[in-house]
Structure 1
């Protein structure tokens, strides 16, 4: 009887030990604070992984750059300092040339179709997949901010000619594009935009609806222009490939499935917030205007040199960037037809 009981106890201890040893601890790194729309859904995404794995995976979350700063997260994931983390292509341009296609100034006016277009490209396009595989990382999901808009302290930008002589805060290549129409780009950080608009240091600031709300830019603005052209979209979550491959097949499939689901959820939430904030501004008397198709066509024309430069850089790297840009445009069109936002 005692011998049988001992066998049961040993078996139980063995099972418990197996359970403990099978648990995987992942370290997640993000450079932003754990608040706001994106952070809310990222935390939910990570919790869903833990729950769906039935305890096999636990995720330790490091926010606000506490594990790695923004400029080091990609290398940190690549070298397994972090198991997974939020990566912005602009901080690792040499490593993520192909992924940077999502930041190009191509027509991409809707949050959900745009996010899904880049997601599909990143998970199916051979050039993109080779870029990730060769560096030992796995792409999991994409973030969306929405199309780039402009908030102004004075009269609205009704068209591209209204950029002439305006001091504008613009990021990425968009400052160069607006400069072709006479704008004076500035590199003021977003947290300083409120004071800059209020004191006349700048006339307009690049913004999205939810950013206007977060930084209270509507308090010092009289107009908001919905350009609805391009966006900056090469931001998402990447995972160390060795750690991903070491997971059980069902857990890998879980993460992949949740990645697509949350790419769409985050984009939809951003769309809803952007729309709500724009309506709120209009209701309080801020003039809201939209660019015409003619003005968008002129923006497209002014954007061509930047896209050509990207293609030339690809040629120097031995990458067919022209086909990548074409594939991205096709995917945006496909997603816009499939998803009526």
Structure 2
């Protein structure tokens, strides 16, 4: 081989390795299967790849990288670069955002859920707490108010919740406990089996999860208007991986969040439109509690649990009242803007 050919070969290899090194590939840890709850992650990956001409890609895994309850731990050690988790899985690790899981906050739609979640995520105390796990908040996974599916006779009075075994985490679990329920925090993936085997009588989920995890297939009834609250599930990124991005990659990532959320809301809206047909198809009775029963539930669960949370979190050094007030003022602002 002559010297010119050798130089060309070396240059070509150098360029190839340089191109290879410049490519950024992230692993993303989700769980279950692809569903309405994860569509914004897929949209985000699609947008980022488009905006960087394929230089920044994401490999999305459903359970192949970690258990859902260990995703935050995986982020902390850099086992993967992005993950989704729910606050109720480990409230001791993400205390500040559990304000979003307090019962009866009054959030009435997904747009409001996005607004209050992102407002809280932007609070310095949240960033500080997440930094302990080498995690940076990226976006929420907004869900509508949870409701119950159950077996046996419908429960449309609070007294019938006494002794009811319910799959519910975080503040929702505390709300049901306040009216005599027995909450258990089995993971979403285990909920169907828990219901099938009789470990629980009822499961509290948003509509997409009742469909995705099959609990609707075990259900005799569904509470259409209980609306005690919801679970908050952020998508986070590893801080080191985020800071290692180029300016263009970081701009592509951050600049795609709003579009990914908008896509999520549109997609979830279509699912909600189909929900009534699903209930009819599966022969599930729709249960509506009276205003008196709902008021009684609110009185027992809302104020006492909120006050207890504020007292407990304040004692741990968190600005609990400030976080709660932030949720309320954000709701007011969101509604005024509409």
- Normalising to structure 1: TM-score of the pair? 0.81
**Residues 260 and 102 of structure 1: is their aligned pair in 2 closer, same or farther, counting only changes over 3 Å?**
farther
Q: Find the aligned partners of 1:308 and 1:101 in 2 and give their Cα distance.
A: 11
Q: Find the aligned partners of 2:71 and 2:84 in 1 and give their Cα distance.
A: 7
Q: How does 1:14-93 map to 2 (within 5 A)?
A: 15-30=15-30, 32-64=31-63, 66-93=64-91
1:129 to 127, 130, 134: 127
Q: How does 1:156-305 map to 2 (within 5 A)?
A: 156-164=154-162, 166-185=164-183, 189-196=190-197, 203-226=201-224, 227-233=226-232, 235-282=233-280, 286-301=284-299, 302-305=301-304
Contact 1:114/1:335, CA 8 A, preserved across alignment: no
SS of 1:59's equivalent in the other structure is strand
**Residues 219 and 59 of structure 1: is their aligned pair in 2 closer, same or farther, counting only changes over 3 Å?**
closer
**Residues 5 and 334 of structure 1: is their aligned pair in 2 closer, same or farther, counting only changes over 3 Å?**
farther
**Residues 336 and 288 of structure 1: is their aligned pair in 2 closer, same or farther, counting only changes over 3 Å?**
farther
Alignment of 1:310 with 2:309, yes or no, is yes
Contact 2:192/2:214, CA 8 A, preserved across alignment: no
SS of 1:206's equivalent in the other structure is strand
Task: Name structure 1 gaps, 5 residues minimum.
Answer: none
SS of 2:256's equivalent in the other structure is helix
Aligned residue pairs total: 331
SS of 2:25's equivalent in the other structure is strand
Q: Find the aligned partners of 2:312 and 2:99 in 1 and give their Cα distance.
A: 12
Q: Find the aligned partners of 2:166 and 2:71 in 1 and give their Cα distance.
A: 30
Contact 1:112/1:264, CA 8 A, preserved across alignment: no
CA deviation after TM superposition for structure 1 residue 153, in Å: 2.9
**Residues 79 and 180 of structure 1: is their aligned pair in 2 closer, same or farther, counting only changes over 3 Å?**
closer
Q: Find the aligned partners of 1:222 and 1:73 in 2 and give their Cα distance.
A: 33
CA deviation after TM superposition for structure 1 residue 196, in Å: 4.7
Deviations 1:144-194, CA, capped at 9 Å, x for gaps: 332111223344443534434645443334344234334454666412254
**Residues 73 and 114 of structure 1: is their aligned pair in 2 closer, same or farther, counting only changes over 3 Å?**
same
Q: Find the aligned partners of 1:219 and 1:134 in 2 and give their Cα distance.
A: 40
Q: Find the aligned partners of 1:255 and 1:69 in 2 and give their Cα distance.
A: 25
Alignment of 1:112 with 2:107, yes or no, is no
- Normalising to structure 2: TM-score of the pair? 0.82
SS of 2:80's equivalent in the other structure is coil
Contact 1:150/1:224, CA 8 A, preserved across alignment: yes
Deviations 1:66-109, CA, capped at 9 Å, x for gaps: 22333332122122221122223233433311122222212333
Q: Find the aligned partners of 1:220 and 1:91 in 2 and give their Cα distance.
A: 24
Q: Find the aligned partners of 2:131 and 2:167 in 1 and give their Cα distance.
A: 36
**Residues 148 and 264 of structure 1: is their aligned pair in 2 closer, same or farther, counting only changes over 3 Å?**
same
